[in-house]
Structure 1
Amino acid sequence: MKTLVRYSVICCAFLFISLVILFLRLLNYPGKSTSSSNEHRNGIDQEYNRPFIKPLFVPILPENCTSLDCLSVKNCQTLTLSVKNFERSAKFQSMQFKRFVQAVKNLPFFIGEISKNEDFNSCFTLFNIDVLDRDILNPTTLPVIPDFSSAAKFMKVKLDTNYVFFNLFSGTYPDYSEKVDFDVGRGILMKSSVTHQNFRAGYDIAFPLVNVLKHELLPKPVTLLRRSSTTQDRYLATFKGKRYVQGIGSETRDLLPVISNQKDILSLVTCEHNRDEWKKHLNSIEMQQCEANIREYHRPQFDYDSLLLNSTFCFVPRGRRADSFRLLEVMRSGCIPVVLSNNVVLPFSEVIQWEKLAVIADERLVTLLPSYLRNIGSERVLAMRAQAVFIYNAYFSSMDTILRTTFKILFDRISPKPLPRWVWNSYPGALFVDTNYSTDFKHDYPFWSHYLNEDPVDKRWRYSVVVVKNQDDDDGHCEDVAREALNANNLNAVFLVSVEPDGSKLHIEIDDKSTTDGLRRVTMNSLYDVDLIVSKETSHIVTINCTTSTDNLAQKLRFLTAVSGEYPDRLIGYDLVNHFLSSAWTNEYAVSSDVEDYYSMVNVTNMAIHHKYYYHLLRTHFNSSNSEQLRSKPHCASVFLNMMIAYVTQNPPIGLKFIEDEQAPVDDQVVPDQYPADEKGPEDFSMPRESECLQWFKTVLGYIPLRHSSSLVRN
């Protein structure tokens, strides 16, 4: 009897210890309370911004493929993409897949479509087979994928390219399986709503869950201008969405109303979903609670978009699947996402540091969130909010940016010059960086010099002056302007460039025999290639036209380069221009030289300075069709450069005003009326040719990135 009691006590003690260990593991406390284990836990919490637990599952190794044994590099000297067409598949495509393929064909590295038995000459190939949505409850989803057997044969025979598949939805009610119902083989799967257990890390890519039909084809960035410079939002944290009464995702969403205090934390849920099926799973008490929640949910003052704009944190719980459309909606609003989806692989997490812009917490410990969120300092809140908007603009603002990001990540795996992760997570983002151009991030790019380059400002940059001579300009005055520029002393070289447009792609003639006076004479057919004539040491280019006065020219140039040294990524100049909405009905814009109150552009050819890398971006960032049309408009160079630089920096240019040493007394100066009789009126400031350029480039970018400014920097 004593032996039986002894064994019973031992079993009870063992069971108690097991329960304690399990409880501590759920709270993410290690089994040993040593200092080293605590330091390890704190390091993980700091890196991943997980206040409660670290991932319970480690990413498994891919079952079929790795980057080393399945990726082909034969056609991957540069990033190229093609689409393989099957006739039957073209008849069974949803509207969202057609729009998706349209976005693919607009990418700058798309080289064409492949039919029948043509060779694959691209690095990546997409089949025109619609596998975006494989939820069989969707009426547009076919139970059998047309032509997929033919695609599988191609993947086994044609080994010189890398095949890619995109899937947003897999599985269906009730288990919503993450596994796709087609054999990917050695193809690369870009998939939404995937967890670490079913993710081939380092091979597949976690794709954002996005509504292809509603998401913009071209980027339209959001800003934080609507936000206060403080963190005093109306709500600390909010949620408005469905509450699943049973099944996957219901546990997390059931906890959100528990932490709502109807003051600084607000959680509005509705049980309404799947018609009236939800009512079958509730008793009378639960039904009364649901009806109360529904009434609160539909109150007009709790508009969804308004809540996002007035909240510091926004809860992003999982839905039926691991991902949620809510993630991008929250980031777009400048709200900090609080992700509640255990083990989810966040979009593009291979390169994006989500811990810098989101709180990633355990679904099971939602009740601990209010105290944690209240303890986040204001400086960190502002940094996370700014990073959330930056990451959204850089990689999620349109189907174009999402697809560019996807293939940039894929190509980085093959490229001998992959981008470091910090480039992806700092302004202006990886999509504006071309490693074929240079990998010297300190000197050859204008974006990171202030914290990468330890040289003094006056030694970081080298400047070259380009004096532009058009066909009607006076040769003698052009020579005078160029020689006067030589007196600036801080210049690397001075070029006298004769521009003779002839419609060809590239034509440059350098007169090497004409440098005895210090000038380098060049003939070219387009200003879009000016960066090709300057030396590698030159970082910035100053452009002057031949109509510029030689008075104080050297002093103006020195002032121009001094300001550029402090703002190396900006466009800076003296001759200011403005744009405005000329017709709200047709959404047309016009350009004017009237800058009495503010300006949005500078005349690039009339004493302006910018980094030479922007010329390279202007030539390579867009698809071949747009690039050819761009070169056919040489008179638009100034407008295009203004819009390109604003597109990258999301900042206005910097206007300069040079004040001469000796000016007439104020009493002797005559201040004319705004528009004296027989002189200029508003219509005389109009610039119709530049207005046409602005409208055309607006169609390329999808919006007008120019921003107005009223600030002037004076010497």
Structure 2
Amino acid sequence: MQFKKRFLLVLLSCAFLAFCYFGGYRLKHKETQTLEEYSEQWVDLNYEKDIESSPYLRRLGGDVLPKNQNCRMETCFDFSKCNSDSFKVYIYPSNPDSEPNPISSLYQKVIDVVKESRYYTDDPSQACLFILAIDTLDRDPLSNNYVRNVPSKIMKLKHWNHGRNHIVFNLFSGTWPDYLEEDLGFDTGQAILAKASMSVNHFRTGFDVSIPLFQKDLTERGGEPGAVISNNFPLRKKYVLAFKGKRYVYGIGSEVRNSLFHLHNGMDMVLVTTCKHGKNWAENKDERCGVDNAMYDR
């Protein structure tokens, strides 16, 4: 009798261990699948939350990134519109169909500079590049300069063609508290985006243009009055870029100033710096300081 009890106890123990082993494995595998499914659901929930918080993403049908995120010059630009002998830029009329387009003083400067340049044409058939007369610089809905109904305005443009060969200027996008970079409130299509504070995640290399964030009181042009002749702007100059200043061999700003020499070619791009800055510059000088100081003094 005791033998039977011991045998039954051993059998039950083996069964219990087998159940724990195989059942635990299945349970663990099930938990792993559940965790993966939960992660996908969590992503979907946040994805839906992002869409709900952005009217722009809703209009795109839920695409987190713009539809033409992969645009490049060879895929989204029509070179047949560009004359090899001359490069021309067309700006749309400011009030198509008698509908006024409010334009900020800052965007008006952008338009004026282009119109006064030798690249401007009032004939769209001769243009390689098209610029909107719709102010898209400030796309913060809470801003006084925010232009409404941009999608409907763009659809009325005769030469829009899904944005191909167009360039869209932007300084601010999104609104508090998210400031979504891609939320311009309209689909830019295949247009080139000239934008300030653009991240590397959205910048399309070789297609988009990164521009500085300039303020509204920035002058349209520099130089003495009368230096700019109508239809001959920008002037043909010997130098494209010039800078002369202190290099900051240590402290705040040193990384930026120390990298300027990469742009210097000694011909049309001249950037010269000196290490002679502060009391301890000699103690922190590097191997380039001798050459840089001599070039700066020259």
1:94–1:130 CA contact under 8 A, matched in 2:
yes
Alignment size in residue pairs: 192
Match of 1:124 among 123, 126, 129: 129
| Residue identity in the other structure for 1:123 | C
Q: What is the SS of the residue equivalent to 2:130?
A: strand
TM-score if structure 2 supplies the norm length?
0.52
- Measure, in 1, the Cα distance between the counterparts of 2:188 and 2:94: 17
- Measure, in 2, the Cα distance between the counterparts of 1:143 and 1:131: 10
Corresponding position of 1:80: 88
Q: List runs of 5+ in structure 2 lacking aligned partners.
A: 1-66, 225-240, 261-268, 274-282
**What's the CA shift for 1:175?**
2.5
Corresponding position of 1:190: 194
Q: What is the SS of the residue equivalent to 2:178?
A: coil
**What's the CA shift for 1:203?**
1.3
**1:67 is the counterpart of 2:73:** yes
1:70–1:186 CA contact under 8 A, matched in 2:
yes
| Residue identity in the other structure for 2:209 | I
| Residue identity in the other structure for 1:101 | I
Corresponding position of 2:235: none
| Residue identity in the other structure for 1:80 | K
- Measure, in 1, the Cα distance between the counterparts of 2:292 and 2:178: 37
Q: 1:144 to 1:197 in 2, by over 3 A?
A: same
What's the CA shift string for 1:392-426, capped at 9, x where partnerless?
xxxxxxxxxxxxxxxxxxxxxxxxxxxxxxxxxxx
Corresponding position of 2:145: 140
Compute the RMSD of aligned alpha carbons: 4.2
1:106-255 paired onto structure 2 within 5 Å: 106-112=116-122, 119-145=124-150, 147-151=153-157, 154-156=159-161, 162-179=165-182, 180-218=184-222, 224=244, 236-238=250-252
| Residue identity in the other structure for 1:186 | Q
- Measure, in 2, the Cα distance between the counterparts of 1:122 and 1:189: 18
1:64–1:185 CA contact under 8 A, matched in 2:
no
2:243–2:272 CA contact under 8 A, matched in 1:
no
**What's the CA shift for 1:176?**
2.2
2:136–2:169 CA contact under 8 A, matched in 1:
yes
1:96-107 paired onto structure 2 within 5 Å: 96-107=106-117
Q: 1:380 to 1:188 in 2, by over 3 A?
A: farther
**What's the CA shift for 1:63?**
2.6
What's the CA shift string for 1:100-129, capped at 9, x where partnerless?
1111111111122x6xxxx53211111101
- Measure, in 1, the Cα distance between the counterparts of 2:155 and 2:118: 30
- Measure, in 2, the Cα distance between the counterparts of 1:64 and 1:92: 32
Q: Which has the higher contact order (CA 8 A, sep 6+)?
A: 2
| Residue identity in the other structure for 1:213 | D
**What's the CA shift for 1:197?**
0.6
**What's the CA shift for 1:174?**
2.1
Q: What is the SS of the residue equivalent to 1:154?
A: coil
Corresponding position of 1:47: none
What's the CA shift string for 1:316-358, capped at 9, x where partnerless?
8xxxxxxxxxxxxxxxxxxx2789xxxxxxxxxxxxxx9x899
Q: What is the SS of the residue equivalent to 2:139?
A: coil
Q: 1:217 to 1:314 in 2, by over 3 A?
A: farther
- Measure, in 2, the Cα distance between the counterparts of 1:232 and 1:104: 35
| Residue identity in the other structure for 1:188 | I
| Residue identity in the other structure for 2:289 | S
1:155–1:186 CA contact under 8 A, matched in 2:
no
Q: 1:210 to 1:143 in 2, by over 3 A?
A: same
What's the CA shift string for 1:136-189, capped at 9, x where partnerless?
2322213432612323x6322897xx1111111112222322213221111111
- Measure, in 2, the Cα distance between the counterparts of 1:184 and 1:103: 23
Q: What is the SS of the residue equivalent to 2:121?
A: strand
**1:378 is the counterpart of 2:289:** yes
- Measure, in 1, the Cα distance between the counterparts of 2:209 and 2:295: 24
- Measure, in 1, the Cα distance between the counterparts of 2:178 and 2:295: 35
**What's the CA shift for 1:237?**
3.6
Q: 1:378 to 1:197 in 2, by over 3 A?
A: same
Corresponding position of 1:304: none
2:113–2:220 CA contact under 8 A, matched in 1:
no
**What's the CA shift for 1:213?**
3.0
TM-score if structure 1 supplies the norm length?
0.23
Q: 1:133 to 1:383 in 2, by over 3 A?
A: farther
> % of aligned pairs identical?
24
**What's the CA shift for 1:380?**
6.6
Q: List runs of 5+ in structure 1 lacking aligned partners.
A: 1-60, 239-312, 317-335, 340-353, 359-372, 387-715
What's the CA shift string for 1:593-623, capped at 9, x where partnerless?
xxxxxxxxxxxxxxxxxxxxxxxxxxxxxxx
- Measure, in 2, the Cα distance between the counterparts of 1:383 and 1:90: 57
**What's the CA shift for 1:64?**
4.8
2:69–2:202 CA contact under 8 A, matched in 1:
no
Q: 1:143 to 1:382 in 2, by over 3 A?
A: farther
1:165–1:189 CA contact under 8 A, matched in 2:
yes
- Measure, in 1, the Cα distance between the counterparts of 2:202 and 2:258: 24
**What's the CA shift for 1:62?**
6.0
Q: 1:236 to 1:169 in 2, by over 3 A?
A: same
1:86-97 paired onto structure 2 within 5 Å: 86-87=94-95, 90-97=100-107
Q: What is the SS of the residue equivalent to 1:82?
A: strand
**What's the CA shift for 1:91?**
3.6
Q: What is the SS of the residue equivalent to 1:206?
A: strand
